[in-house]
C-alpha cells in the first residue's frame, strides 16, 4: 500500500475565530494546516515550508490580501494559482481584481461543501500541472 501525503494548507486571516474555524474544518477534512494572523507572517512561513494551497482574506491590517497576492505573483511565479480568497469584501474593486487576475474566491459566509470543493479544484489543477 502506497504512502499518501496530506496536502498542506496555509490559512492567512486576521480574525482569530475564523482562523480556528478554518483550521478545524480543514484538519477534520484530512489537510495539514498552518495559521498566520497577517500577510507578513504568512510570507515568512512560505519561505520555510512548502504549501499546496493558501486561503487568504482581503482585508488584513499591514498588508492586505490583494497586495500579498501581487507579491506572491512577482516573487513566487505560478504560486498565485494556489490561492483561494475567502473574504467578506464584496467591493467592486475587489471583484474587479478577482476577475482581472482569474482568482478563485469564496464569499463569507460560505458553506463548508463549497470551501472543500474550491480547495479540491485548486489541488487538482496543481496535480495536473505536475503530472504532465
pLDDT of residue 64: 96
> Residue 115 contacts by C-beta under 8 Å, 6 or more apart in sequence?
22, 25, 86, 106
Q: What is the pLDDT of residues 32-88, one digit of tens each?
A: 999 999 999 999 999 999 999 999 999 999 999 999 999 999 999 999 999 999 999
Q: What is the pLDDT of residues 88-125, one digit of tens each?
A: 999 999 999 999 999 999 999 999 999 999 999 999 98
Give the per-residue SS3 of 105-119: EEECCCCHHHHHHHH
Identify which of 113, 71, 105, 65 has the alpha carbon closest to the alpha carbon of residue 85: 105
Q: What CA–CA distances, in Å, run from 79 to 29, 66, 88? A: 23, 14, 23
For residue 63, give the DSSP letter. Answer: S
Instruction: For the domain covering 8-126, report its CATH number.
Output: 3.40.50.2300
Please state the domain extents for the chain.
8-126
Q: The whole model's pTM is what?
A: 0.92
Collapse the DSSP code of 50 into the 3-class scheme (helix H, G, I; strand E, B; otherwise coil) and give the result: coil
pLDDT of residue 130: 53
Amino acid at each position: 500500500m502506497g504512502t499518501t501525503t496530506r496536502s498542506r494548507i496555509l490559512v492567512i486571516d486576521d480574525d482569530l475565530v475564523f482562523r480556528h474555524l478554518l483550521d478545524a474544518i480543514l484538519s477534520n477534512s484530512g489537510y495539514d494546516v498552518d495559521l498566520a494572523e497577517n500577510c507578513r507572517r504568512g510570507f515568512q512561513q512560505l519561505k520555510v515550508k512548502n504549501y499546496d494551497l493558501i486561503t487568504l482574506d482581503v482585508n488584513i491590517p499591514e498588508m492586505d490580501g490583494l497586495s500579498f497576492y501581487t507579491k506572491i505573483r512577482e516573487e513566487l511565479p505560478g504560486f498565485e494559482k494556489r490561492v483561494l480568497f475567502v473574504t467578506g469584501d464584496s467591493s467592486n474593486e475587489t471583484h474587479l481584481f478577482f476577475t482581472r487576475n482569474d482568482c478563485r474566491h469564496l464569499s463569507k459566509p460560505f458553506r463548508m461543501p463549497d470551501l472543500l470543493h474550491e480547495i479540491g479544484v485548486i489541488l487538482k489543477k496543481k496535480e495536473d500541472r505536475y503530472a504532465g
